[in-house]
Amino acid sequence: MNQFLFVVFPYLCLATFVVGHVWRYRYDKFGWTTRSSQLYENRLLRIGSPLFHFGMLGVVGGHIIGLLVPQAWTDWAGISERAYHVVAVAGGLLAGVMTVVGMAILIYRRRTVGPVFSATTPMDKVMYAFLGVVIVLGMWNTVAGSILTIGGVYNYREGVSVWYRSFLAFQPDAALMAQAPLGFRLHALVAFGLFALWPFTRLVHVFSAPVGYLTRPYIVYRSRDDAALGSHSPRRGWDRVGG
């Protein structure tokens, strides 16, 4: 069972994540969008969206440091275990609270604003459920994991983190996750389930950063008001637009 849960299942989810995005991009380009509802309501969105997105940036950054940076590196840098976990708890809780509050506002908005609720799909509801469970479990593990590590009971940097790096190296050791506390195992399984759902939700917009805006030409506006043309005569070959 451990081999299935922490070797087979994660790779199935990863394969679905990759193949699903390729399929979605090739056959559903017009659906590759957040399906923005800003036109329906802007007040709550203006508060909830920045909280959620900036909180998620902190969450992702914390996972990159916690999972990909070996403990030997921070030890070499002179960072004590206690100092590391104090920063991890403070930063993790701040990012987690921002994400939870932002998501709560967005869900409330989606439930109470008629047009936004009408545009909500069943997959949106599943996505919110998985996101909520993953975030809450992650916050619990941030606090509990630090307490267990400082107390000498369990160090996730010598277990879960090592398993994750071995998973990325295609040499996963399921025994490392089997020894982890239940909260860490549930967090990992639900997170991989979210990755499997990712290509079929609005989360695909994460891979659509507007990089092209940096190099695209300026938009030229032409006035329809003759008086706004000033003293300059129109260029040859262009007809003046009527009112």
Q: Is 21 annotated as a binding residue?
A: no
Q: Is 63 annotated as a binding residue?
A: yes
Cα separation, 106 vs 34, in Å, equals: 13
Cα separation, 235 vs 243, in Å, equals: 19
Contacts 24+ apart (CB under 8 A), 135-138: 135/59, 135/96, 135/99, 135/100, 135/103, 136/100, 137/183, 137/186, 137/187, 137/190, 138/59, 138/92, 138/96, 138/187
Residue 235, Cβ density class (10 Å: 0-12 exposed, 13-18 middle, ≥19 buried): exposed
Cα separation, 62 vs 167, in Å, equals: 19
Cα separation, 71 vs 226, in Å, equals: 70
Residue keyed to tokens 């930063």:
91
CB contact set of 29 (below 8 Å; sequence gap of 6+): none
* Mutual angle of helices 43-68 and 160-168, in 10-degree steps: 90
191 within 8 A of 24, measured Cβ to Cβ: no
Q: Is 205 annotated as a binding residue?
A: yes
Residue keyed to tokens 């459920």:
129
List, as residue ranges, the binding site.
53, 63, 187, 205
List, as residue ranges, the binding site for heme b.
53, 63, 187, 205
